[in-house]
Every structure is written in C-alpha cells, then in structure tokens.
C-alpha cells in the first residue's frame, strides 16, 4: 500500500510518498518534498493568504512530480491520495484539495481527506513506529497549541487548547518585537541558548476564568472540575504583552536599541516560560489519563530547549517522550500521508469527491 500525501494548508506546498508494508511493519517514508514560501512572506512579516494561495498554484504540479520521482514510483505505483482538508487558509487548502480530487478522478484513485493536526500527530508514528497507547500528544505550531489524548490508533480526543495565540505565533511576535527575523521560532531558539533564562521574571500564564468564547468541547477524565479545564488550556497573549512592555521600558519607548545580550536574555526568559507552560499541562494530562508516553509534534516541537526539557522531565518520571525529526515537525506532506494510512488501516477507502476544503475543520 503506497499513498501520496498532499499538504497546502498554510505557506508550504508539500507532497510525499509513504508506504505501509504488510502486517503492522512500520510505515516507510519514500519521499518528502516541501516548497517553502518563507522568502515571499518574510517581506510582509507574516503569511499573506492571497499570495500563499497563488504560489501553491504555481508549485503544486512540480512538487508532486518531484515526490513521485524521488520515490522512484510512477502514478501506477500509487494506491491512494491523502490530502489536507483543513483547518488552514481556505485559499491555500483549496489548491491541494482541488488537485487531489482532479488526480483522483483522472486516475481512478481513492482520495482520503485528512485533518492537518491528525497529520502532525501521526508524524510521531511515522518517525518512531507505533507509540505505546494511551498517549498524550501536544501539537504545538504557528497556528495551533492543542493537547490530545490518543487512547487507541486513529482516535484523537482534545484535552486542552489555546484560548488566544498559538505558541509558535507568540515566538514569531516576540521575535518581531526584539527586531529578529521571520519566522521567529528558530531564531529565538538559537538566541535563547546564549541568554539567561532567569534574567527576566515574565509571568507564567494562569487562567482564572472559564473560557467565555467556548471553543470546541474538550475531554477531561471523569470527575474533572472547571478548574481542571483551566489547567488544561493554554494562553500566550499575556506573555507576549509582558515582553512588549519589558521592551518598551528597556528601550525607553524606542529611544535606544537593545544590546545583543539583552535580546538573548529576553529570548531565553520568554522561552523558559513558554516551555514551562507547555510541559506543565502536558505532563499533568499524562497523569490524568495514565498515559504510557508523551508526544510532541508541530513546528515548535523542533525547538531544542523544549525537546531537552521534555526528555528531562520524562526521564525523571519514567515516561518515554517521542518527537518527530525536525523535517517532520514543521509542515510537510509525509505526515498527511501517514494520517491517510492510519484511516486506511481503520477501513476507510476514500470519500466521494464532493468534499470541500474547510478552514475550520474540527478533529
């Protein structure tokens, strides 16, 4: 069984071929091609949806051709297509979905629409083999910060999610505030290594109220109370504001520039709080659900300090921690192919081609 994955939910056009050998053997990654649009959006300091959609259109055919040729397979060697249906930027999603449906119709191949976050979660099994379940998986990226309970293969139960910014978004905004480039995550990660994580006492986010903009329902263990829900949700906008106020004071409202050392300290102190917030909730959820392991996925899971601290805490508690490779952590199509293989293994054989891209698709 060989599946072609297609991903176009944000600003990378990606295609990949993943193979599922027989009888429960681990999935094999045959190729993974990612055309990044970072150079285009850098000029604007963030992703411009209309530019992203137009660039996907230019790139998709070449990216798919490259994925097939890197895998040394032709179309006849592909058994199904998995495509990101959502969530994401609708103009971007549409390009991947329309392409997948067109090839599906032309070649008579089944098309399996998948959720982008199911892809991030399945990147863990693609990279590490099947995880011991139940697992608690933190999906942490530029668009999402969500905690999932995975009781059995292919079942993802939302335990907590951010009520405002995603963690990656906070990295990108803080990088902008202190004059670093875009995207900010990898640069803050690097600068933080030289800084003192205790130089500035940024506040650790604590939620004191129930969510007034009730989002998707979350699943907590039996007996959980409202306070537990607050202890499972994330919030990063207050931390971002604290960094902004610190920078305003330190620079006398832009009258002077920050020194390199000051920037390093801000990055390290900000990152310490983000990591503590992410891991406190993740390890608490693992405890609630008697998880046998923890997984970290999504672009921010590429962060070196987050990985190191998760491994330290996991080792202290005898809880294995799984992460994807850096290439499989940021957006890619191999994880989408993996999520498609997961659905296939559960009996799905493709959907009628009248499904559409959905910007707010729920998992």
Task: Record the tokens describing residue 2, joined without a space.
Answer: 């060989």
189 binds ligand KG4 (CB under 6 A): yes
- How many residues bind to ligand KG4 according to rule CB under 6 A? 19
Q: How far is the CB of 141 from Zn ion (least distance, A)?
A: 4
235 lies in the binding site for Zn ion (CB under 5 A): no
User: Residue 122 interacts with ligand KG4 (CB under 6 A)?
Assistant: no
Which residues have a Cβ under 8 Å from the Cβ of 298 and sit 6 or more positions away?
A: 120, 138, 139, 140, 141, 144, 168, 329, 330
> 57 φ, ψ to 5°?
-60, -40
Q: Does 141 bind ligand KG4 (CB under 6 A)?
A: yes
In degrees to the nearest 10, what's the CA dihedral of 97, 299, 87, 37? Answer: -50
Nearer to ligand KG4, 168 or 195 (CB): 168
Q: Check whether the bond before 183 is cis (ω within 30° of 0).
A: yes
In whole angstroms, how close is the CB of 171 to ligand KG4 at the nearest point? 5
- Identify the CA nearest to 293 among candidates 301, 283, 303: 283
Among residues 82, 8, 97, 98, the alpha carbon closest in space to that of 47 is found at 8
Cα–Cα distance for residue pair 304/316, rounded to 1 Å: 18
DSSP letter string, 292-352 = SEEEEESGGGG-HHHHHHHHHHHHHHT--EE---HHHHSS-SHHHHHHHHHHHHTT-----
Q: Should residue 302 be labelled a site residue for ligand KG4 when binding is judged by CB under 6 A?
A: yes
Candidate list 278, 303, 339, 343; residue touching ligand KG4; CB under 6 A: 303
Residue 104 touches which of Zn ion, ligand KG4, none (CB < 5 to 8 A by kind)? none
**CA 7 – CA 4 distance, rounded (Å):** 10
Q: Taking CB within 5 to 8 Å according to partner kind, which of ligand KG4, Zn ion, none is near residue 68?
A: none
Among 330, 335, 340, 343, binds ligand KG4 (CB under 6 A): 330
CB of 113 to Zn ion, least distance (A): 16
The answer to the question of residue 295 lying near ligand KG4 (CB under 6 A) is no
Place of tokens 């397979």: 73
Least distance between ligand KG4 and beta carbon 267 (Å): 10
Q: How far apart, in whole angstroms, are the C-alpha atoms of residue 139 and residue 148?
A: 8
Which residue, 184 or 340, is less far from ligand KG4 as judged by CB? 184
Give phi and psi for 78, each to the nearest 5: -105, 135
Within 316-335, the residues that bind Zn ion by CB under 5 A are 331
Spacing of C-alpha 94 from chain mean position: 20
- Examine residue 125 and tell whether it contacts ligand KG4 (CB under 6 A): no
Select from 186, 195, 314, 324 the one that contacts ligand KG4 (CB under 6 A): 186
Distance from C-alpha of 155 to C-alpha of 148, rounded to nearest angstrom: 9
Picked from Zn ion, ligand KG4, none, the partner binding residue 14 (CB below 5 to 8 A depending on kind) is: none
CB 112 within 8 A of CB 80: yes
Beta carbon of residue 253, minimum distance to ligand KG4 (angstroms, whole number): 27
- If one asks whether residue 10 binds ligand KG4 (CB under 6 A), the answer comes out as yes
Footprint of Zn ion on 88-147 (CB under 5 A): 141
Q: Does the footprint of ligand KG4 cover residue 5 (CB under 6 A)?
A: no
The interface partner of residue 91, options being ligand KG4, Zn ion, none and the CB cut-off 5 to 8 Å by kind, is none
The residue among 104 and 299 lying less far from Zn ion, judged by its C-beta, is 299
Q: Which residue ranges make up the site for ligand KG4 (CB under 6 A)?
A: 10, 141-143, 168, 171-172, 183-186, 189, 298-300, 302-303, 330-331
């Amino acid at each position: 069984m060989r599946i072609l994955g297609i991903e176009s939910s944000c600003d990378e056009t990606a295609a990949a071929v993943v193979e599922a050998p027989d009888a429960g053997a681990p999935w094999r990654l045959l190729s993974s091609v990612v055309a990044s649009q970072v150079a285009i959006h850098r000029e604007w300091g963030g992703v411009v949806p209309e530019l992203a959609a137009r660039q996907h259109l230019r790139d998709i055919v070449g990216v798919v051709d490259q994925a097939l040729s890197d895998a040394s397979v032709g179309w006849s060697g592909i058994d199904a297509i998995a495509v990101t249906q959502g969530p994401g930027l609708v103009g971007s999603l549409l390009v991947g979905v329309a392409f997948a449906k067109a090839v599906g119709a032309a070649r008579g191949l089944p098309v399996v629409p998948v959720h982008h976050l199911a892809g991030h979660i399945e990147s863990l099994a693609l990279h590490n083999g099947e995880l011991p379940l139940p697992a608690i998986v933190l999906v942490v990226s530029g668009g999402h910060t969500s905690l999932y309970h995975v009781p059995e293969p292919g079942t993802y139960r939302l335990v907590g999610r951010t009520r405002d910014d995603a963690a990656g978004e906070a990295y990108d905004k803080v990088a902008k505030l202190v004059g670093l480039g875009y995207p900010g995550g990898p640069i803050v990660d690097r600068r933080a290594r030289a800084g003192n994580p205790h130089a500035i006492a940024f506040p650790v986010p604590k939620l004191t109220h129930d969510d007034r903009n009730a989002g998707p329902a979350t699943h907590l263990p039996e007996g959980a109370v409202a306070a537990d829900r607050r202890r499972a949700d994330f919030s990063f906008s207050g931390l971002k504001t604290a960094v902004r106020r610190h920078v305003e004071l330190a620079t006398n409202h832009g009258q002077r520039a920050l020194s390199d050392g000051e920037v390093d300290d801000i990055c390290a102190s900000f990152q310490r709080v983000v990591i503590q917030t992410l891991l406190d909730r993740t390890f608490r959820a693992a405890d609630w659900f008697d998880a046998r392991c923890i997984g970290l996925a999504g672009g921010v899971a590429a962060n070196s300090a987050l990985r190191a601290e998760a491994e330290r805490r996991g080792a202290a508690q005898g809880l294995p921690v799984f992460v994807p490779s850096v290439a499989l952590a940021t957006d890619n199509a191999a994880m989408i192919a993996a999520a498609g293989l997961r659905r296939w293994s559960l009996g799905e054989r493709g959907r009628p081609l009248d499904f559409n891209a959905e910007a707010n698709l729920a998992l």
